[in-house]
Amino acid sequence: MAAQIINGKEISKKIRSEIAKEVDELKKLNVIPGLAVILVGNNQASRTYVKSKQKACQELGMHSLLFEYPETIEESELLNKIEELNHDDTIHGILVQLPLPEHINEVKVIEAISPDKDVDGFHPINIGRMMTGQDAFLPCTPYGIMVLLKEMGIDAAGKNVVVIGRSNIVGKPSGQLFLNENATVTYCHSKTKDLKAHTKKADILVSAVGKANFITADFIKEGAVVIDVGINRNEDGKLCGDVAFEEAKEIAGYITPVPGGVGPMTITMLMYNTLKAAKKFQPALQKTK
Ligand code: NAD
């Protein structure tokens, strides 16, 4: 039987309408959730992502600011801007679009963002909070995956979850969130031996590799939930994930398509985190920093 398609576009739409309602409520208290985005250089993909984030802010009635800098910007100038935004009461979330040019220390930049405004969930304080199961800003793509499963009524507790990929922004935090939900988690990566032996045992398989047609049907356990995080182009230049969708959907129980699966959830969870930051915002506390 063909898999049930997890429609990220629809789920995202539903969550965004809930966010929009909460934004309206906050506005009655004179708080407009504000997101500042910092974009360095001329990376076209980064530019496209930033545009989508700004558009989402506008659609949800949030305040958004974009700060664009040339590739040659000094690290100190970037750090000064972040410091200024940390103290700006109209801004509740700060996002520095990655990657940054080589001469800028990414870790230093992320650590300069106030953990209370770190809506990407990349600051070590938020990562530590996530790992210890405390309230935190969760990284948007992994968070989006968890929300997709929740909306589909899929419980991860006790399930074998295999995450392929160990990046700081997708692979590692995805595994951690599944662990927080009481799943048994296996991480696979470029040095993993006999990948298929692991993936065939997965009740939930998450692929975050970045290679088109990397996961074929023979890697998938019958009835498994397949979450495709990859964003790639196939030979025809069409957008596709890591999973060979047409054959995988014949064996999986549930599957996310690309486009229209995990992708729309990433920006939605960024909006959610910005709303959350605005709700928690206490100007007096910020000013004492
Ligand atoms: P990355 O390049 O940092 O990580 C890729 C991971 O794949 C690495 O950890 C590596 O060990 C693993 N890998 C590479 N070859 C492998 C192999 N042969 N076998 C097993 N593992 C292997 O990438 P990333 O930033 O984690 O992103 C992964 C993919 O997800 C990319 O396609 C990216 O575009 C996409 N992505 C999508 C979203 C979204 O919103 N949907 C968000 C972020 C990233």
pLDDT digits (tens, 9 = 90+) for 20-46: 999 999 999 999 999 999 999 999 999
Residue 165 labelled as part of a binding site = yes
Peptide bond before 101: cis, by omega within 30 degrees of 0? no
pLDDT of 263 strictly over 70: yes
Structure tokens at 269: 């969870």
Residue in 157, 163, 172 with CA at minimum distance from that of residue 127: 172
Share of the chain above pLDDT 70, in %: 97
Cβ–Cβ under 8 Å, residues 71 and 42: yes
Cβ(260) to ligand 1 under 6 A?
no
Cβ(210) to ligand 1 under 6 A?
yes
Kindly report the pTM of this predicted structure: 0.96
Tens-digit pLDDT profile for residues 124-179: 999 999 999 999 999 999 999 999 999 999 999 999 999 999 999 999 999 999 99
Q: Under CATH, which number does the domain 140-263 receive?
A: 3.40.50.720
164 Cα: distance to centroid of ligand 1 (angstroms): 8
Q: How do the domains of the chain map onto residue ranges?
A: 29-114, 140-263
Q: Is 228 a catalytic residue?
A: no
Residue 231 labelled as part of a binding site = yes
Q: Is 120 a catalytic residue?
A: yes
Cβ(186) to ligand 1 under 6 A?
no
Which residue has the least CA distance to atom 15 on ligand 1?
A: 190
Q: Do domains 29-114 and 140-263 have the same CATH topology?
A: yes
Cβ–Cβ under 8 Å, residues 91 and 35: yes
To the question of domain 29-114 being in CATH 3.40.50.10860, the answer is: yes
Give the residue carrying structure tokens 């930033």: 50
Q: How many CB atoms lie within 10 A of CB 192?
A: 15
